[in-house]
């Protein structure tokens, strides 16, 4: 795995559409994210298929349950050979530590990276206050959740690119930031609330950006991927 990369969110409803999309990439083997829709529809075999094609996989299931359940689930996810997976930081330190232990117990080789979701990029501060009854600012909440994840031995967090700098300040530069909510100024923001461009994400210092519709819905997905890659890596 590269230290900095673009992860394509393969948010397709089935294996056929996913594999047809990935077969367009003849020269590159992009890092891909498999989310709930695809994993729940196709099961673990979709991970094995994509891994067999030479892609690194971020399995984005956002586990959030009691520590024992998450520990056992992570053992099974590690056996799939995923490169990265995640939990909700709101599950508390005990759950995050149990998740990390489960990955180590289930991995046949290198242990997958484990990151925690701080606040979803669709969440606004107003919704956080009114619906979740979290009185702190979104920046303070993300900082606190990230620090808990770091202290629990996790490798990084999922956060908005707008909060990546805050996380690095609180947890150090080696602590990974994985940021969705990447859009271009000429693109549709869709259901994202806290967004930025690939170039700005690079300047902020994020490690991985997750990009879905700007690539998967593009007329030429391969060229769209290359554009994002150039802009994010500065090459």
Here the CATH number for the domain that contains residue 143 is 3.20.20.70
Residues 6 or more apart whose CB falls under 8 angstroms from that of 154 comprise: 96, 100, 114, 115, 116
> In the predicted model, what is the mean pLDDT of residues 156-176?
93
Number of domains the chain contains:
1
pLDDT at site 185: 64
Buried b / exposed e along 206-235 (16+ C-beta atoms within 10 A):
bbbbbbbbbbbeeeebeebbbbbbebbeee
pLDDT confidence of residue 192: 46
Mean pLDDT of 60-77: 98
62: annotated active-site residue: yes
pLDDT reported for residue 160 = 85
| Tens-place pLDDT, residues 89-145 | 999 999 999 999 999 999 988 999 999 999 877 788 899 899 998 999 989 999 999
pLDDT at 193: 47
Predicted TM-score of the model (pTM): 0.92
Instruction: Please state, in angstroms and rounded to a whole number, the distance separating the CA atoms of residues 218 and 35.
Output: 20
Task: Return d(Cα 13, Cα 202) in angstroms, integer.
Answer: 30
Q: What is the pLDDT of residue 42?
A: 97
Catalytic hit among 29, 33, 51, 62: 62
Q: Strand, helix or coil at 229?
A: helix
- Residue 197 in this model has a pLDDT that exceeds 50: yes
Residues spanned by the domain of 188? 5-233
Give the Å distances, CA to CA, from 139 to 67, 104, 123, 202, 209: 26, 31, 12, 19, 19
């Amino acid at each position: 795995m590269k230290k900095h990369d673009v992860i394509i969110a393969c948010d397709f409803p089935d294996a056929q559409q996913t594999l047809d999309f990935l077969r367009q990439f003849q020269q590159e083997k992009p890092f891909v994210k498999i989310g709930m829709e695809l994993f729940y529809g196709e099961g673990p075999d979709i991970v094995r298929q994509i891994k067999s094609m030479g892609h690194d996989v971020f399995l984005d299931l956002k586990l959030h349950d009691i520590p024992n359940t998450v520990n056992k689930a992570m053992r099974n996810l590690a056996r799939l050979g995923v490169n990265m997976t995640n939990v909700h930081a709101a599950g508390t330190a005990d759950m995050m530590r149990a998740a990390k232990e489960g990955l180590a117990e289930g991995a046949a080789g290198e242990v997958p990276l484990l990151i925690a979701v701080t606040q979803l990029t669709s969440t606004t501060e107003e919704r956080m206050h009114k619906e979740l009854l979290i009185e702190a600012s979104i920046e303070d909440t993300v900082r606190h959740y990230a620090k808990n994840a770091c202290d629990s031995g996790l490798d990084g967090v999922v956060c908005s690119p707008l909060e990546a700098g805050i996380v690095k300040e609180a947890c150090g530069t080696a602590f990974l930031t994985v940021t969705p909510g990447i859009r271009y100024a000429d693109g549709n923001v869709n259901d994202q609330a806290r967004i930025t461009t690939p170039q700005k994400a690079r300047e902020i210092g994020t490690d991985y950006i997750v990009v879905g519709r700007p690539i998967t819905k593009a007329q030429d997905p391969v060229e769209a991927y290359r554009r994002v890659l150039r802009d994010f890596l500065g090459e």
